[in-house]
Amino acid sequence: MSKPVEITGDDVSPAEQALRYELTTLAFRLPDAAAAKTGIDPWLTSSDARGRLLGKWEAEHGVLGRIYVLREFKDDAELAAERMRAARSSRPFGAGNHLTDLTMQSFAPFPFMPRVTTGEFGSVYEIRDYHLVPGGIPATIEGWRIKLPGRHLVDPIAVVMYALDGPARIVHIWPFPGLDERVAVRQRLVDAGMWPPPGGPEHILQATSTMAWPLPDSPLH
């Protein structure tokens, strides 16, 4: 298993704060799963592609027929250039007619979050999306600043980020050894008072959770 980077709660360097993430959701009919996956890697590794691939997952619990792709960009300009490449393509992500929907969402890391470390961290990844009340992001970030460093020591997170467009939202991606372990570790942390973050829950309007399995060549796996 890989060793995660320590999280201290202190703000990281300006260069790391300038990082941008894109979470892409590719939707397809279940019989088209294999065909929908075929073009993803050529799209991501094309000579004109931008960004750094962090993870690729396929949903196994929640809404099925979904592949999630997480990429990192050095700044807004690099993300915008890659977004334009997709907008001008008749076959974004190489999926063509096999796609029923394609959603590309932009995020910034919480200001104390270091650059994502890739490696082997778990066989199951939870992608959790919180829709917050308007103006709820600052208090949520500060609550996570207090609690996340302690939780990260026993239950390392992959990334937590806030949306740059659309409603006020945060998304976190967390690896676990398995589904049973995910339930057990979360309960232990709650019982020990290590989670949830203060000031966070009251800002949540709704939450969705997807349990996804890494694709074979995902950098986060």
pLDDT-derived band at 188, boundaries 50, 70, 90: very high
pLDDT over 80 at 64, yes or no: yes
Q: How confident is the model at residue 213 (pLDDT cuts 50, 70, 90)?
A: very high
**How many beta carbons lie within 10 A of that of residue 155, not counting itself?**
20
- CA atoms lying within 13 Å on the CB side of residue 157: 24
Q: Cα(173)–Cα(49) distance, rounded to whole angstroms? A: 24
pLDDT recorded at residue 97: 83
pLDDT at 6 over 90: yes
pLDDT at 70 over 80: yes
Q: Is the predicted pLDDT of residue 152 greater than 90, yes or no?
A: yes
What distance, in Å, lies between the first and last C-alpha atoms of the chain?
10
DSSP string of 145-178, one letter each residue: HHHHHHHHHHS--SEEEEESSSSSEEEEEEEES-
pLDDT band with cut points at 50, 70 and 90 for residue 134: very high
**8 Å CB contact between 104 and 131:** no
Residue 111's nearest CA partner among 161, 179, 171 is: 161
Overall average pLDDT of the 52-74 stretch: 96
Q: Is 64 helix (H, G, I), strand (E, B) or coil?
A: coil
Backbone angles phi, psi at 71, to 5 degrees: -130, 155
The per-residue pLDDT of the chain, averaged, comes to: 95
pLDDT higher than threshold 80 for residue 169: yes
Q: Tell me how far apart the alpha carbons of residues 106 and 158 are, in angstroms, rounded to a whole number.
A: 17
Segment 8-20, tens digit of pLDDT: 999 999 999 999 9
Please name which of 195, 201, 199, 209 lies closest in space to residue 151, comparing C-alpha atoms. Answer: 195
Other Cβ atoms less than 10 A from the Cβ of 72: the count is: 20
Q: What is the spatial distance between Cα 140 and Cα 111, in angstroms, rounded to a whole number?
A: 12
Q: Cis peptide before 196, with omega less than 30 degrees from 0?
A: yes
Q: What are the structure tokens assigned to 111, written together?
A: 């200001």
Of 89, 93, 116, 92, which is closest to residue 171 (Cα–Cα)?
A: 116
Helix/strand/coil percentages in the chain, nearest 5: 30, 35, 35
pLDDT of residue 27: 97
Q: Can you tell me the mean pLDDT for 176-191?
A: 93
Q: For residue range 78-131, list pLDDT tens digits in order.
A: 999 999 999 999 999 998 788 999 999 999 999 999 999 999 999 999 999 999
- For residue 199, name the pLDDT band (cuts at 50, 70, 90): confident
CA angle, 68 as apex, 12 and 43 as ends, to 5°? 95
